[in-house]
Amino acid sequence: MDLFNLIAILTSVVYCVESVGFRGFFYEGMKEPESSEWKKNNLVKHRWITQSVDHFHIQDNRTWKMRFLENDEYFNGTGPILIMLGGEWKINEGFLNAGLMHKIGDEHGALMYYTEHRYYGDSKPFEDTSTENLKYLNADQALADVAYFIEFIKKERNLNNTMVTVFGGSYAGNMAVWMRLKYPHLVQGALASSAPVYAKADFPEYLEVVTASLKRHSVECVTEIEKAIVSVQEMVHTEVGRSTIKDEFNLCHALDTTNLSGLGTFFSLLTETFSSVVQYNRIKNGTSSIAEICKTMTNNSIGCPIQRLAKVTNNNGECVNIDYSVILDALGNTSWVANSDSMRQWIFQTCTEYGYYQTTDPEKSIFGSILTIEYFNQLCGDVFGEGYDKILLDKGVRRTNVMYGGKLPDVKNVLFVNGNIDPWHALSVLNDLNESSPSILIDGSSHCMDLQNDNPNDVPELTKARIKIRNIIGQWVKSWREISNEVLI
């Protein structure tokens, strides 16, 4: 798939099949863990459960089918129930056959599940994603889906006295925390990996962390990126400059500088080029993604800083169509086929509940001043219609933090895990909430890496963190068994 062809990104059927966690217009999410062993003997079952469209109005009898995956390969009859919560993506077998939760499940004889979030993947409550139909896409309804799911599997398996621990990464990490907060009688423990539990409309801290993470690797890299961005910002104001940008960056059309939206899409491309690298910072052959992109940005033989910037956004020879109208056409299509990448659904949630808009603060980041909250407010209104504006966004963000506690949720047995390279850690819980809800900040690690398989390329702190996580959750399981035995006696 051509990562920087916007049409392909917004319409590709395979876009999110194996991706997890926050994605942008110009980059994918994280891949689920893989194992060669499970592909030989895959015991994961694909199943469905009937859910209510609206859990909070009992006279509304509409229902839909929610997809979930099940792996009982290790279940010994007394082990815990472990549930990986899906987020803004299509779930697959990855987390039930490999990764951190799978390892814990193997160690404790667990029954494992993976639930798909309403409106994502194959879990479709309505025939399309019209704005009217999307009003049932929110955290309240999605959490209730999981609550009824837990009730269903406990009844089906006759496991009423079995401990449930939920796992989640990225937005699903929020869900894990909030399940423990809202449904403590159903969920006894939660692991929240890279969970931005504090909703924030204007989120310049994201690109501040991107800047700091790049600078941690190379001060020269940051300097050269900033030079390139400054040059671009100056060039967009002249006809000659716009023509040069079109040629250097291989744009299909000259930049539309008559309004904020025309510039916003182009600067989103520039910032997300670095966001994707820092957010996931993959290690290949001993070299990190950050090191690779900085190697290009500091290579004088390529040309001036703006030419190096164009190099890292290279589209493999195909011109880049970044017209704002193209985005609106793609996001305005309400068919499920057109929205298999989940962008329309996720943008709806950001416009109504979370914000998370990665704006640029020229005082603290190297990405200029073009991407403002006004650009994203306009995008919400242009995609979803009148009323989806700053007032609604601010109201929704405030509600989310009031309902779920922001960075101070009143929870126990919740483990918060973040990497300090990850830009999302700025909105997560970075200090222990209490004795039973600790926070682990992994030096040199990025988005949701703790949920992956152990890898020889992992930084030592990540390896230690996974061991600590397994020990903590293991202690939860042990304590629950002791309590359960006392109750039974």
Q: Is the pLDDT of residue 1 over 70?
A: no
pLDDT 10s digits, 306-316? 999 999 987 67
pLDDT 10s digits, 43-74? 899 999 999 999 999 999 999 999 999 999 99
Which are the contacts of 243, defined by CB distance < 8 A and separation ≥ 6? 254
Q: Is residue 92 helix, strand or coil? A: coil
Confidence of residue 96 (pLDDT cuts 50, 70, 90): very high
Q: Is the pLDDT of residue 9 over 50?
A: no
The β-bridge relationship of strands 414-419 and 189-193 is parallel
Amino acid at 413: N
Write the CA distances from 201 to 67, 204, 262, 425, integer angstroms: 31, 10, 21, 16
At 267, which helix (H) or strand (E)?
A: helix 260-280
pLDDT 10s digits, 152-183? 999 999 999 999 999 999 999 999 999 999 99
pLDDT at residue 14 in the model: 30
Asked if 113 and 86 touch (Cβ cutoff 8 Å), the reply is no
Beta bridge partners of 415: 191
DSSP H stretches of helix in 183-259: 205-217, 219-235, 239-248
Confidence of residue 384 (pLDDT cuts 50, 70, 90): very high
Write the CA distances from 86 to 146, 202, 320, integer angstroms: 10, 25, 32
Q: For the chain, which domains are there?
A: 19-197+406-488 (3.40.50.1820), 201-398 (1.20.120.980)
The β-bridge relationship of strands 200-202 and 355-357 is parallel
Asked if 176 and 139 touch (Cβ cutoff 8 Å), the reply is no
pTM score: 0.93
CA 135 to chain centre: 21
Confidence of residue 103 (pLDDT cuts 50, 70, 90): very high
Amino acid at 248: E
pLDDT at residue 244 in the model: 95
What backbone torsions phi and psi does residue 412 show, to the nearest 5 degrees? -125, 155
